[in-house]
Amino acid sequence: MKEIELRNVKGCTDYSPREQYIRNYISDTLKKVFEKYGFKPLQTPILCYYDLLALKYEEDSEILNEVYKVTDQADRSLALRYDLTVPFAKYIAINQNTKLPFKRYEIGEVFRNGPVKLGRVREFIQCDVDSVGIEGQLVEAEFVALYVEAYNNLGIDVVIKYNNRKFLSGIIIEAGISEELVTETITVIDKFEKLSKPELEKEFAKVGLNSEQMEKLLMYLNMDADQLINIENKNEILAEGIEELNTLKGYIENLGLLEYVQFAPSLARGQEYYTGTVFEAYVKDGSITSSIGGGGRYDKMITDFINNGTTYPAVGISFGLNVIYEILKNREEFTENALTDIFIIPMGTEIECLKIAEIMRKAGYKVEVEMRNRKMKKSLEYANEENIPYVFILGEDELAKQTITVKDMKAKAQTQISTTNILEEFNKVVDNSKKI
């Protein structure tokens, strides 16, 4: 047998049962919110044709450099999906009989061969919600409401930053920069808060901007919202972007959500497919500097895929499960909570214990039965180590009396309950324990 070093691929992680419990909690919480807002579940393949994923990008673009490329036995050029948006667009293009508007959510694995750091790995799960067939800012305001409710349900205080790509393109043009350089300039602006002024100027120079254009653009990017909205000599793209921003702000204000949002004129979102409003969600206390969610409007992607003369307006947002997990993993409710409610220890009563386990499981309890014939002390140690709150012990004497011993492991209390009325009597034990 060959000897190999047992290790994970860099950026890929094994999650223990307790860790995966937290991750499942996150996805389950998000699913409930998604469905509450009328989004329907969708599943798309992890494996895609490379040409599909590369369709919207130049070959040397940053996102394509992070794509995991593979081939099949017929030497076809394939790739692992890097997000859930392009596969969603492909689904609509293939299924043109889909009734619009269509709102979907998808929670699935994606892969990016990029830098590894806290909250950013190479195999990770995205939790996406998208709508297609709805124009305007009303649906975008609903996405803000969804963001707020989802993060509140997860117990995370967030600030949702928003901007508009038309607005951003407009101030670039207003700075005297040609339309041919807009996309490359936006790519640099996306790094605005991460780079110093000299570093930004160096990057802008690579794009082809002169010093006058740089100064004017940086002036715009450092203005507050009121100043930007009142820029004189607005070009058409800028005027449209400002109108969309004002409309969205009005909806958000009417929904009572202004305290959760912040206008961010340098927010660009790196992907080239965004056409209007863009969002990013951040932890309010700044404990994690990277975004924990993002998205926006992308009206051209599905439209260009289908190319039948019809416009398919689309907007979507994503939640980063991995980075949300990093926020929640050390919280007390997860480190102390048990994955099992009841641990049953048989003493020559294995079949009877399995029957009792089935009764309790049908009632909604998570139950595990001791099956290794360990000594009582070892079995109780296991229950303590796993933070299991209740232990049932059933021996021949209890069986004869139709009773079972219940140990409350936290209260260090013990009582006998009847096996003929086990659910009602055990529920009383739990209720009494909560009162202590």
CATH for 363: 3.40.50.800
User: Which of 328, 349, 380 is the C-terminal boundary of a domain?
Assistant: 328
* Residue range(s) defining the domain that contains residue 364: 339-435
Same domain, yes or no, for 162 and 240?
yes
User: Which of 297, 328, 359 is the C-terminal boundary of a domain?
Assistant: 328
Averaged pLDDT in 10-residue chunks for the chain of 436 residues: 86 92 96 98 96 77 87 95 91 92 96 83 94 96 97 96 93 86 84 83 86 87 80 84 94 96 88 89 89 93 87 94 90 80 96 96 96 93 93 94 94 92 92 74
Q: Is residue 8 part of a domain?
A: no
Rounded-to-integer distance, Cα 317 and Cα 304, Å: 20
Helical ranges in 161-207 per DSSP H: 165-174, 182-189, 197-207
What is the pLDDT, as a whole number, of residue 376? 94
Spatial strand order in the sheet of 77-80: 47-49, 77-80, 69-71
Same domain, yes or no, for 321 and 343?
no
Length of the chain: 436
Q: Is residue 5 part of a domain?
A: no
What is the pLDDT, as a whole number, of residue 354? 97
- Tell me the angle at which helices 85-94 and 299-306 cross, rounded to the nearest 10 degrees: 40
Does the pTM of the predicted model rise above 0.85?
A: yes
Check if the beta carbon of residue 423 is closer than 8 Å to that of residue 376.
no
What is the pLDDT, as a whole number, of residue 58? 67
What is the pLDDT, as a whole number, of residue 25? 95
What is the pLDDT, as a whole number, of residue 62? 75
Check if the beta carbon of residue 288 is closer than 8 Å to that of residue 326.
yes
Same domain, yes or no, for 139 and 233?
yes
Q: Is residue 266 part of a domain?
A: yes
Rounded-to-integer distance, Cα 87 and Cα 83, Å: 8
Give the count of domains, the chain.
2
Q: What DSSP string describes 64-106?
A: HHT--EEE-TT--EEEE-S-SHHHHHHHHHH-TTPPSSEEEEE
Q: Is residue 334 part of a domain?
A: no
Same domain, yes or no, for 305 and 239?
yes
Same domain, yes or no, for 122 and 187?
yes
Rounded-to-integer distance, Cα 264 and Cα 280, Å: 10
User: Which of 328, 351, 384 is the C-terminal boundary of a domain?
Assistant: 328
